[in-house]
Amino acid sequence: MSVLRVGNASGFYGDRFDAMREMLADGPLDVLTGDYLAELTMLILGRDRLKNPDAGYARTFLRQLEECLGLAHERGVRIVTNAGGLNPAGLADAVRALADRLGIPVRVAHVEGDDRTAAHPGTLAAHAYLGGFGIAACLRAGADVVVTGRVTDAALVTGPAAAHFGWGPTEYDRLAGAVVAGHLLECGAQATGGNYAFFQDGDVRRPGFPLAELHADGTSVLTKHDGTGGFVDVGTVTAQLLYETGGARYAGPDVTARLDTVRLSQDGPDRVRVEGVRGEAPPPTLKVGLNRLGGFRNEVAFVLTGLDVEAKADLVRTQMAPALGRITDVRWDLVRTDRPDAPTEETASALLRLVVRDADQQAVGRALSGAAIELALAGYPGFHVLAPPGKGAPYGVFEDVYVPHGAVDHVAVLHDGRRVSVSPPPDQHTAVPAPVPEPPLPQPLPPGPVRRAPLGLVAGARSGDKGGNANVGVWARTDDAWRWLAHALTADRFRELIPEARDLPVTRHRLPNLRALNFVVEGILGEGVAAQARFDPQAKALGEWLRARHLDIPESLL
């Protein structure tokens, strides 16, 4: 069958507004997807729904569609999005109303069944990650726009691919290929030079959004529209492939994709071929993300300038101690951004950051807005803060649980109102599959002179979050660099370079086809991004910190 061209116009709620119009106008497409959901987004939408029961979906999608629905209809491009969030039926109705107002004949369907909030009292939002076969049912019945709630990010691609190529639920290699393509597309411009370690290799001032050319055998080519910014090469695709993943098995509701089988090759300018992907049966359970309010949070950053920074910090802590005695969680961080004999006041200053959390909003408000500001004329010399503290804001907590496929009523609501139940996968890994054999290490480089230098001179990295855990994917750009990296960057060396991880479980996974190592650091993000437990709550820059650390690197690689 013909190639299926699937593009992406959104990697998160708040991504580039013009991307939908650009993707529709700048080149040919069959399907345009938009990913609007993340763990934090579900919490935000949950709070929206508390204020208005008719809310709970990504409102920017409707505004984008108002500009672009006519163009999509004219070009015959179908739109598949998870912008429905907590209320896919509500967004589907809003799209129909918009189409009627614009006079555009559009068939709108939606997918439901992910909402598990009633089964988890005390949560603001609890949603199962559904697969792509509900989307496929909607498209097979003729839908032009398909709206979903919580599906896996890759389901936005596996659904259209299964519908187009007629794949069944046990065609695991093909489905796994589509999962990999979906994972590469899901974060938008991250696959086309955005957030890329070697960003200076191309012009990334305004990267174009990616698209995948999918084939019936599950292989694909990752590319972008001609003439758009950014660039696509094996490195940008490797970086996105490693993003927010773990070991060799990438489990989902439709299939378990084997990331250790993925092969990437440059297929021309801005074209990377993705092939060799093998798939296995999915696990017997679905992941359910639970979002709840954890309490209230407040913070203030004291600016410590010039001499005696440590003594000034000790004075602040001592003066604040009486006001903080009853607060449940108090965290101090001294960030030494100062330098001796600094040429500017800013570079002569350090930051002392105080973060407090408690179930009582008034307690966190009083502790900082009262006690901290009362020190203005009674504290260390040069006292000031970056910004006055507020009353305290609610923060969220994310965790995941697992339920059997049969516990979820996965339903495709077709454009004509018919409801089609989506059966659980016919085959599931009911037993824990055997561990993937650890691939052999490459031959080490022969001994030679070394030089102390940053890791990032010879390796790229990309990091991200999954609940309270972080992953850091590190890859080498040459075979010789891989021969060194695979032996030098052990889990113990990782802990040495990232002191925050010293007392945490760190698992290293080898992916030799990608010349890559993937490190999973458990618990480094506390209760997840919404809890904002650390300076970089989503671990977005953890990989760049690792690349900036120095170690002994063979001079032959430098």
The Cα 57–Cα 396 span in angstroms is 18
Q: Phi/psi at 257 (nearest 5 deg)?
A: -85, 135
Which uninterrupted H or E stretch holds 81?
Answer: strand 78-81
Across the range 337-360, mean pLDDT stands at 95
Structure tokens that stand for 479 in this block: 């075979």
pLDDT at 96 over 80: yes
Across the range 449-476, mean pLDDT stands at 96
The Cα 518–Cα 547 span in angstroms is 14
Topology of domain 290-391, CATH: Alpha-Beta Plaits (3.30.70)
Decide: residue 408, CB within 10 A, 0-12 exposed, 13-18 middle, 19+ buried: buried
pLDDT at residue 189, rounded to an integer: 98
How far is Cα of residue 244 from the mean position of the Cα atoms in its chain?
A: 6
The Cα 107–Cα 86 span in angstroms is 21
The amino acid that residue 359 corresponds to is: A
Tokens 């927010």 identify what position? 244
Give residue-wise pLDDT tens across range 530-551: 677 778 889 999 999 999 999 9
Q: Do 383 and 375 form a contact (C-beta atoms < 8 A)? A: yes
Please report, for the chain, the start and end positions of each structural domain, with discontinuous segments joined by +.
Answer: 4-282+400-421, 290-391, 450-557
**Rounded to 10 degrees, what is the CA torsion of 88, 174, 76, 190?**
70
pLDDT at 430 over 80: no
Residue 396's SS3 state is: strand
Across the range 94-119, mean pLDDT stands at 97
Query: Any idea how long the chain is?
Result: 558
Alpha helices in 52-171 (DSSP H): 59-75, 88-102, 133-140, 155-165
Structure tokens that stand for 384 in this block: 């000031």
pLDDT at residue 265, rounded to an integer: 98
pLDDT at residue 231, rounded to an integer: 98
pLDDT at residue 241, rounded to an integer: 98
pLDDT at residue 466, rounded to an integer: 87
Q: Do 4 and 160 form a contact (C-beta atoms < 8 A)? A: yes
Q: How confident is the model at residue 153 (pLDDT cuts 50, 70, 90)?
A: very high
Handedness of CA 260, 461, 455, 350 (dihedral sign): negative
Q: Do 474 and 235 form a contact (C-beta atoms < 8 A)? A: no
**Would strands 108-112 and 145-147 be described as parallel, antiparallel, or unpaired?**
parallel
pLDDT at residue 1, rounded to an integer: 66
pLDDT at 273 over 80: yes
Across the range 154-161, mean pLDDT stands at 98
**Mean pLDDT score across all residues of the chain:** 95
**What is the tally of helices (H) and strands (E) in the chain?**
13, 26
Q: Phi/psi at 478 (nearest 5 deg)?
A: -135, 165
The amino acid that residue 221 corresponds to is: V
Q: What is the pTM of this model?
A: 0.95
Strand blocks (E) in 425-549: 450-454, 459-466, 469-476, 506-511, 516-521
pLDDT at residue 22, rounded to an integer: 98
Give residue-wise pLDDT tens across range 451-461: 999 999 999 99
The Cα 125–Cα 135 span in angstroms is 22
Query: Looking only at Cα atoms, what is the longest distance across the chain?
Result: 76
In percent, the amount of the chain with pLDDT more than 90 equals 88
pLDDT at residue 427, rounded to an integer: 82
Structure tokens that stand for 145 in this block: 């726009």
Give residue-wise pLDDT tens across range 32-86: 999 999 888 998 899 899 899 999 999 999 999 999 999 999 999 999 999 999 9
Across the range 144-152, mean pLDDT stands at 98
341 C-beta neighbours (distance < 10 Å), count: 6
Distant-in-sequence, close-in-space partners of 225: CB < 8 Å, separation ≥ 6: 22, 23, 26, 27, 208, 211
pLDDT at residue 390, rounded to an integer: 86
Across the range 363-390, mean pLDDT stands at 91
- 367: DSSP letter: I
Give residue-wise pLDDT tens across range 159-216: 999 999 999 999 999 999 999 999 999 999 999 999 999 999 999 999 999 999 999 9
